[in-house]
Structure 1
Amino acid sequence: MLPKLDGEQMSRLAVSAHYLETAFMSEVEDAGLSKGSTIHDLENLDMEKPGLIRSKGLNVRCPHDHQMGAAYVDCLSGEDHVGEATHFLSYSWSYTVGDIVDTLSDFCQANGLNPKRTYIWICCLCVNQHRVAASKMSGMTASSPVDFFTIFGQRVKRIGHLLAMMAPWDRPTYLTRVWCIFELSYAHENSCRVTVVMPPKEKELLELELFGDDGLDNIDVLYDALAKTRIQDAQASFQCDCVAILGWIETSTGYASLNHRVNQLLRNWARQVIGDLAKKHLSNPESDLATARVCNQIGLILDRNGEFDAALEVHRRALRIRLDLLGPQNARTAETWNSIGQALHGKGDNQHALLEYQKALDIREEVLGPQHFDVAITYNGLGQVLLSQGLLERALICFRKAIPIFLLKRHTHHRLIATCYRNIGLVLQGQGQLVDALEHFQKALSFRELCLGPTHPDTAASYCDIAALKKLRGDTIGAVTDYKKALPILEVVLGPEHPATQEVYEAIRSAHESA
């Protein structure tokens, strides 16, 4: 039996994770459905033919409005099955029921929670779908602005802990649904605890992809996916939901602020996930080549996140293993020296970075040949260090040795080509060759747009490179045009208050003043 609940507590009744994993999944199977069925498959809101969810309460009187047809949750009894909500699930109805249940079970296990006392408020089971279907038939929705704050606002604030379900890992459906984005932002804005959760199979796939040979590219895919939130482009099952939600946002927080808040929240989550996976792999005490490969990959990930000291520690562990098992004159050992050079350059230790890059270059040229792709990578890194030191001629020699090798792989390594073209542009600009510098900046932009898309921060950086150079040449109008192309990207990805965004604001203001 449930303890006696008041009216407000009754409105927050939720289904236990244990019930979902056992009885609910049995009902799904008995209905001829499977773990691969979506919530849309379970309940289509057809008035003539109730689905699995509405069938549960079809002949039960709702305890709230006392009409026939109750919410699924109001048909349950027993503390192991139903209770006052401890968590609010934010998800898409296009997710499979198996993924939803597996995600919640994994969340309980990972956090040491008793699934029989972890009660999940899920809209499809806790909102009366009989009333939603009736509203749909009458041309309205149960989620008018008034109902929204009643059903969602009060619930999520009182429950206090929102679970945002992301799947698949590289292109979350969640970020295409207006309700999901708004729920996540609203919970965060109202100081609710927000936990991003993922189906176990997606976590396993993410781990596999991150620590494979293409791990850095996959990190870029993940970060890029989590930096493209645009609630104004998201969809909802009912158009009037979009109108109501977008109207509220436009007159309150504004699109740019909400999108940035969501992007930052998700990118912080991604960093935490990557960090947790890295710790898991680094706990392996083995000193074999597989461990060295993973260490090198984790070091590159840490380097990408700006954690240079941590990256160096991991790379040096990989180096010890590879020196012991492979010796110094080996391509894999050279790879580690290259990675160490990159991390040292990242933390500003250019003198030692040059030494490590030179070790990598000597071995790679001897073992792999002067035209090998890895040799070009080392030349590019070496050139960046020399550029930082103001040694422009030597830097240019390195970049011009790298670029033709990169271009042989133009179909798969656009990002490296773009970086190298930008580096050459920076050298030429430093030498006063502004026309040639602009040409290289524009080539970098073309490759970044091709491989990263028009809304990536690196693409915005290319617009800023071009704008700054145009301003230097006296083309104020052209400079402002390119700064204004960069600005909306930075506002969404980094936020209006970020120093890089503020620099563009200032550059536009300064350009206008000098015009």
Structure 2
Amino acid sequence: MAAMEAVGVSSGAIERFVQTLQQQFPETYKEMTTQEACTSIVVPRTKDSQCAYIDVMREENKDNVGRATVFVSHAWRYKIVDVLTTLLEFAAEEGQSGSSKTQHVNVTANLPQDWWSTTFKKSIRQIGKVLLVLTPWNDPVPLTRAWCLWEIFCSISQADVDLQIRLPSQQRHALRDAITETHTAVTNMLVEVQAEKAEAWKKEDKDMIFRAIQSTVGFTALNRAVKDRMRAWCLRTVDAFVTAHQQQREDANRDDTWAAAKFAQLCHQTGMVMVTFGELDRGIMHLTKALDVVSGLKDQQLLASTIHTSLGNAYNSKGAFDRALEHHSIVLQLRRELLPARDPRIAAAHNNLANASANKGNNASAIDHFTQALDIQLAAVGERDPNTAAMYNDLGNVYNNCRDYARAIACLNKALGTRIALLGEHHPETAVTLNNIGRSFGEMGEHGKAAGYFQLALECFLTVLGPNHSRTQQAAHNAAMSRQMALAHGMPVTPVTIPTAAHAPTSTAKRTGTSSHNSNTQAQSLLVRFLAAVSPPTPQQQLLVRFLAKTLSTRASQDPGADPGPTSRFHEAAKHQQEHSDDSPGDEEDQHVPVRKGCCGMQ
């Protein structure tokens, strides 16, 4: 079987290749894709000798070729200058002279699947570092290409391989500008990461890669692993934006109100990214910095109120409810002074005060503020609005606290219908409402219905937010407890009825079907295998394995034609983890944990 030669080229060789592009195509080189550069330069230079281009480079200067230290993952449709410039910038950062290139496309076209699963993967480990070049930042091509995903998988599935992510310089600037406007630019990007939708030029390539993924970690675990790396990269990147901007302001050493306001906005949105990803302390630090800057500026009271809102929501998520009330009270006071009485931003201030009051246990105050918020909100924008949905969601939670479950479910169903219509079934905020409806049914004693809602919420949180996020952990606890209570009371886990996007917020439709059942079972099976392999397992992972194994066991018993092999193995994995766990729920009282208001809050 063919071996992969782990040979790379120096940054000097890359610089000379860029010069060649400039000389031969002075008018068009900046727009040429990697594929076009290969066709125009690489193929003609290697056609007669039928060799790899690296052999041509070695012939020109042997010092430019050596052991590869970085494997570069990029898409052929990229602009070649963007890729090469990113490589040179990375080499300068690393202080090294070598970076590897992918092999000539014709060399590996017909290699069998086991070559990619063994030889190629071992070569990635031998090189030790993978550089993923992303562009455009808001819809990264590599995350939609099967080959790039396979290269990413070969790096993140090996502990001794370092995955680095970089953007071309123009894309870094575009990302910084987008984040300055809204933190959701980053979070929305992660929602779109779905490896199972990746494409390849050749169907046989896609089929081979998909088989390799399915036979190892599976798409659910791969999606989560890619998003984990992307989240970590996003946090480092936005943090670096703030540091660089602050240094520029200090170097300029001038009193520029506009620049200060832009810096405050960047700090604010960076803080929101941190809070959204569960980094509350880091987020509060950036938000406080933003507030400090704005406090010294004239005519920026509305921006100050927005930052106070974000701080209040962050403290609310942290459980510091007195601090949250303090910030939200300031917001309501500022906005009443600055805005018309029916402005939706005043409704948002009432909503956030209501949430903080509810978390303090003052349900009467919470209902009062929610009522005022919805009166203003419905008059201003109507029901089909994300903030209106958030208000209904949170009011439903308060009615849950008051044990008025009929009103709670009515409010939560309105929130769910709108969120599905506007955000989709797999958005974290949709999952928040699913979790809260599960809580209502659980506290009514309808544990079978509760388990169905909690399971849908858990699947979404795992995929989008990862296993360590507080929302995921709360949903995992709720799912395990509700299933345990349903089994104890002889209740089946019933199919969930949720509003469809087409008819939201009033119509409903069954979410059923054999294909959905089978795909969910497969995803859960692979997830159990992935979690059971972690050593040592965390308490949250132990809980998830036990819950999912019970789900699979129940489904297997209901389907006589099902293959018992995988279910049996997963049940053994769950049993092994339970034997090593000190926090088994046992006969613990059913206690469903509400997922609190989204970290991003309402502005």
Same fold (TM over 0.5): yes
Indicate the residue corresponding to 1:113 in structure 2: 95
Tell me the distance in 2 between the aligned counterparts of 1:367 and 1:326. 14
Structure 2 unaligned blocks of 5 or more:
492-603
Report the alpha carbon displacement of residue 271 of structure 1 after superposing the two structures with TM.
1.1
CA contact (8 A) 1:17 1:119 kept: yes
CA shift, 1:169, in A, is: 1.0
Mapping 1:291-330, distance limit 5 Å: 291-306=260-275, 307-326=279-298, 330=301
Match in the other structure for 2:213: 249
AA aligned to 1:113 is: G
* AA partner of residue 412 (structure 2): F
Check if 1:186 corresponds to 2:151. no
**Any conservation in 2 of the 1:86–1:159 contact (CA below 8 Å)?**
yes
CA distance, structure 1, for counterparts of residue 76 and residue 255 of structure 2: 46
**2:421 aligned with 1:450:** yes
- Trace 1:391-470 onto structure 2 (pairs within 5 A): 391-407=362-378, 410=381, 414-470=385-441
SS in 1 for 2:135: coil
Pick the aligned partner of 1:30 from 24, 29, 38.
24
Matched residue, 1:3? none
Q: Secondary structure at the match of 1:152?
A: helix
Which residue of structure 2 lines up, in the alignment, with residue 367 of structure 1? 338
Counterpart residue type for residue 147 of structure 1: W
Residue 460 of structure 1, CA deviation? 1.8
Match of 2:203 among 239, 243, 268: 239
Q: Secondary structure of 2:95's match?
A: coil
Assess if the C-alpha contact under 8 Å between 1:256 and 1:495 holds in 2: no
CA contact (8 A) 2:264 2:291 kept: no
Quick check: 2:273–2:283 contact (8 Å CA) kept in 1?
no
**Other structure's SS at 1:226 match:** helix
Aligned pair partner of 1:510 in 485, 510, 519: 485
1:74-99: CA deviations, max 9, x gaps?
A: 11132564332121011111222122
Distance in 2 of aligned mates of 1:500 and 1:281: 37
Secondary structure at the residue paired with 2:9?
strand
Q: Which residue of 2 aligns with 1:17?
A: 11
Counterpart of 2:586? none
- CA gap 1:414/1:275 in 2 versus in 1, 3 angstroms: farther
The AA in structure 1 aligned to 2:313 is: Q
**Contact kept? 2:235, 2:273, Cα under 8 Å:** no
What are the equivalent positions in structure 2 for 1:41-190 lying under 5 Å apart?
41-43=36-38, 52-60=41-49, 69-77=50-58, 78-79=61-62, 81-109=64-92, 111=93, 113=95, 117-120=97-100, 122-123=101-102, 126-127=103-104, 129-131=105-107, 141-149=109-117, 152-190=120-158
User: 1:266 — aligned with what?
Assistant: 230
Instruction: Compute the displacement of 1:170 (Å).
Output: 1.2
Equivalent AA in structure 2 for residue 216 of structure 1? H
Tell me the distance in 2 between the aligned counterparts of 1:300 and 1:172. 21
CA distance in structure 1 between the aligned counterparts of 2:295 and 2:473, rounded to whole angstroms? 42
- Report the CA distance shift for 1:505/1:56 in structure 2 as closer, same or farther (over 3 A): farther
Q: 1:321 to 1:148 in 2, by over 3 A?
A: closer
Residue 341 (1) aligns with residue 322 (2):
no
Q: CA 1:295/1:266 → structure 2, altered by over 3 Å: closer, same or farther?
A: same
Structure 1 contact 288–321 (Cα < 8 Å) conserved: no
Quote how far apart the aligned CAs of 1:428 are: 1.5
| Contact 1:228–1:263 (8 Å) recurs in 2 | no
Shift of 1:466: 1.6
Counterpart-to-counterpart distance in 2, 1:334 and 1:57 = 63
Q: 1:39 aligns with which of 4, 27, 34?
A: 34
Alpha-carbon distance, 1:24 to partner:
4.4
Distance in structure 1 (CA, Å) of the matches to 2:289 and 2:452 = 48
The answer as to whether partners of 1:296 and 1:315 remain within 8 angstroms in 2 is: no
* 1:195 to partner: Cα distance: 0.2
Report SS of the residue matched to 1:35.
helix
For each residue in 1:259-306, what CA deviation from the matched residue of structure 2 results, as whole angstroms up to 9, or x when unmatched? 211111111111111111122233434665332453354245325524
Q: Is the 8 A contact 1:457 1:489 kept in 2?
A: yes
Distance in 2 (alpha carbons) for counterparts of 1:429 and 1:410: 26
Please tell me whether residue 198 in structure 1 is matched to residue 167 in structure 2: yes
8 Å Cα contact 1:415/1:451 also seen in 2? yes
Q: Gapped runs of 5+ residues in structure 1?
A: 1-6, 44-49, 61-68, 133-140
What percentage of aligned pairs have identical amino acids? 22
For the aligned residue pairs, the C-alpha RMSD in angstroms reads 3.0
CA distance, structure 1, for counterparts of residue 382 and residue 31 of structure 2: 36
Aligned length: 473
- Structure 2: how far apart are the matches of 1:496 and 1:346? 18
Report if aligned partners of 1:471, 1:479 keep a CA contact under 8 Å in 2. Answer: yes
Counterparts of 2:431 and 2:458 in 1: how far apart (Å)? Answer: 7
Q: Which amino acid aligns with 1:326?
A: K
Structure 2 counterpart of 1:478, one-letter code = K
**3-state SS, counterpart of residue 183 of structure 2:** helix
Give per-residue Cα distances to partners, 1:354-387, cap 9 Å, x unaligned: 2332222122112212222322222122111101
Aligned AA for 1:422? N
CA distance in 2 between partners of 1:401 and 1:472 (Å): 27
Name the CA distance, whole Å, in 2 between partners of 1:27 and 1:324. Answer: 51
CA distance in 1, matches of 2:310, 2:107: 60
Separation in 1, partners of 2:313, 2:467 = 30
CA distance in 2, matches of 1:382, 1:40: 56
The Cα of 1:234 is off from its aligned counterpart by: 1.4
Superimposed CA distance per residue, residues 97-131 of structure 1 (whole angstroms, 9 cap, x where no aligned partner): 1221122122233x1535xx2232x22xx33x444
The 3 A distance-change label for structure 1 pair 74 and 228 is: same
Aligned partner (choices 499, 505, 508) of residue 473 of structure 2: 499
1:385 aligns with 2:335: no
Tell me how far apart the structure 2 counterparts of residues 378 and 86 of structure 1 sit (CA, whole Å).
53
Taking structure 1 as reference, are residues 170 and 513 closer, same or farther at Cα in structure 2, changes over 3 Å only? farther
Whether the aligned pair in 2 keeps the contact of 1:83 and 1:119 (CA below 8 Å) is no
| Whole-Å separation in 2 of the counterparts to 1:82 and 1:425 | 65
Residue 193 (structure 1) shift: 0.8
The 1:130/1:182 distance shift into structure 2, 3 A limit, reads closer
- Deviation, 1:473, is 3.1
CA contact (8 A) 2:347 2:372 kept: yes
Please identify, of 409-418 and 240-249, the stretch whose mean Cα deviation from structure 2 is larger.
409-418
Separation in 1, partners of 2:77, 2:388: 39
Give the deviation of 1:424 after TM superposition: 0.7
Residue 486 of structure 1 deviates from its aligned partner by 2.6
CA distance in 1, matches of 2:440, 2:125: 50
- Asked if the contact 1:299–1:310 (Cα under 8 Å) also holds between the matched residues in 2, the reply is no
Name the SS of the counterpart of 2:164 in structure 1: strand
User: How many angstroms apart in 2 are the aligned matches of 1:323 and 1:11?
Assistant: 59
How far 1:203 moved relative to its partner? Answer: 0.5
The Cα shift of 1:161 comes to 0.6
Q: 1:358 to 1:97 in 2, by over 3 A?
A: same
Confirm whether residue 216 of structure 1 aligns to residue 183 of structure 2.
yes
Q: Secondary structure at the match of 2:29?
A: coil
Q: CA deviation at 1:232?
A: 2.4
Cα drift, residue 246 of structure 1: 1.9
